[in-house]
Structure formats: structure tokens, C-alpha cells
Amino acid sequence: MFQTPIVWPNVILFILYHAIALQGWYYFITFQTNLRTIFWAFLILVLAGQGITSGVHRLWSHRSYKAKLPLRIFLCLCQTISFQNSIYEWARDHRAHHKFSDTDADPHNIKRGFFFAHMGWLLVRKHPQVKMKGQLIDLSDLENDPVVRFQKKYYHVLAPLCCFVVPTMVPWYFWKENFYVSFCVCMLRYLISLHFTWLVNSAAHLWGFKPYDRFIKPSENQIVAKLTMGEGWHNYHHTFPWDYKAAELDSYNGNLSTAFIDLMAKIGWAYDLKTVPLDVIRKRVLRTGQ
């Protein structure tokens, strides 16, 4: 039987992150932070979010649209700010998650429980099946993208710089925020973005409706959709992962990522946006829907 070896440095690091973020929360609710620091943190949260949703998720993991070089550079910068592993590693794990959903070869297999799917998978060694079956996934498109290659090569320097150093320094340098307060707020913003993202793997794999495929765990979770700028329509997304909207409906309704990609398409930086024809959706709903 597979024993899960715990990775103690990760456990300690995440406890430390949470302790510092809690101090950030305390400074926030006791009005000890400059309002500009909060706006700044919110801006970084949205940028990092776009790097995940429009960038590493919809573009690099699923190829649901194509992006010209300037957009790829911008999204790569945003994804680096998110400090959620390099584009290459994130997309590799995510493709494994879709191909081997809810099995031992899924890096955050929901069958191992809420905590494991949420963040526990980052605190232990991966199941051997993830590494073995993961070899079957084609990653040549990522290996051939110079933006992805550059980020992977310098990730260990770029990620701490973009996620912690610059976001902490700006409020301290430009509006004389207390340095430690700025650092705590930066850590709070980082942990909010991590937990919101992780909810897709935990909550949206447990709770919600299954209008498109009742045989899979991923579900339509409106709360997660709101928190993740449009990534909680997870029953639809696992049924039609190539749709750039990651949702059926055209209305944005909190799906800021779709609005962003549409805007990029208008200026010509995004193209070949893939969607699913309505009759294909209807047929699937009749065949496998709840």
C-alpha cells in the first residue's frame, strides 16, 4: 500500500505563511493599513488571478484560445506574481487532473478527501501513479513556447521577486507604509489567492449541480465561480474543457476572465477562441445530465 511521505519543510512554510497572513488580517481590521496598500493588494490579487484563469488555465493548460506574444508575456508576468508553480508545472499537473480525474493519477484526487484536494496534496509526495501516468501527457507545446521556457528557467528568482519583494516594496517606498505591515498584507493577499484557487479542487469537486455530466465529481458551484472570476462552473468545464469561457453562458456574470479574453480578442491579441455549439451542449445534457 502507498504510504504518503509528509514534506515537513512545506508544512512548516505554510503554517508560517498563515501566521503572517493572520497578522495582515489583524492590521486590516484594526485600520492600521494605509487604504492605498489595500487597493494595491486588490490590484495584485486581480492580476495574479488573471495569470491563473486566463493564463495558465485557459490558455496554457487547455489551449482554449491562442495568444500573441505581448499577451503571453503579460499573462506570464501575472502568473509569476501568483507563485503557484511555473506555467510548465501547473499545466502538467492540471492536464493530469483532467485526464485522470478523481483517480490516484490525479495530483489532487478528491477521493482522498476535502483537505487533500484543497492543500494537502502540496504537503506530501505525489502518488507514484501521478508520475507514471503523467508521462503519457504531451507537453511539447509548452516546451516549444519560449515564454514558458524562460519562466521555467528563472522561476526560483522571478516568483519570490514578483509575488513578495515588489508587492511589499511598492507601498513602503511610494506611500511610506510600514514595511512589516506591507509584508503581512502581501502575504494575506497571497493566501487569499491560494485558498480561492484551491476551492476549485476541493469545494467545486464536492458540492453543486451536475447539469452536464452526472457521472463525474466536478460540480457547478456559484460561490466558487464568484471567488475565482469565473472558474467554479466545474461540471461544465470538465465536460467541455476546451471552451475558453469555462462556462456555458455568454453573460459575464462575474466571469471577469471571459471578459478579459474577449477584450484581448477585440484588440487582436487573442484569437481562435474555442466554444461549444449549443446543440452539442443540449445533446450532452440529455444524454448524461442530472
Query: Residue type at 56?
Result: V
Q: Is 241 in the site for ligand ST9 (CB under 6 A)?
A: no
DSSP string, 225-237: HHHTTS--BHHHH
Mark the segment that binds ligand ST9 (CB under 6 A) among 25-33, 206-214, 225-233, 259-267.
Answer: 225-233
Range 250-279, binding ligand ST9 (CB under 6 A):
none
Q: Which CB atom, from 21 or from 247, has the smaller least distance to Zn ion?
A: 247
Question: Where do we find the cell 497571497?
Answer: 190
User: Which of 130-138, 145-153, 214-222, 268-276 is the region at the interface with Zn ion (rule: CB under 5 A)?
Assistant: 214-222
Copy the grid coordinates of residue 268.
487582436
Nearer to ligand ST9, 69 or 136 (CB): 136
> How far is the C-alpha of 218 from the C-alpha of 16, rounded, in Å?
31
Q: Identify which of residues 128 and 267 has a Cβ nearer to ligand ST9 in the complex.
A: 128
Nearer to ligand ST9, 26 or 42 (CB): 42
Site string for ligand ST9, 189-218 (x = CB under 6 A): ----xx-xx--xx-----------------
DSSP states along 11-41:
HHHHHHHHHHHHHHHHHHHTT-S-HHHHHHH
Handedness of CA 215, 288, 235, 276 (dihedral sign): positive
- Quote the strand ranges of the chain, DSSP E: 66-67, 270-271
126 binds ligand ST9 (CB under 6 A): yes
Whether the CB-CB separation of 229 and 36 falls below 8 Å is answered with: no
Choose one: 16-24, 45-53, 160-168, 213-221; the region binding ligand ST9 (CB under 6 A): 45-53
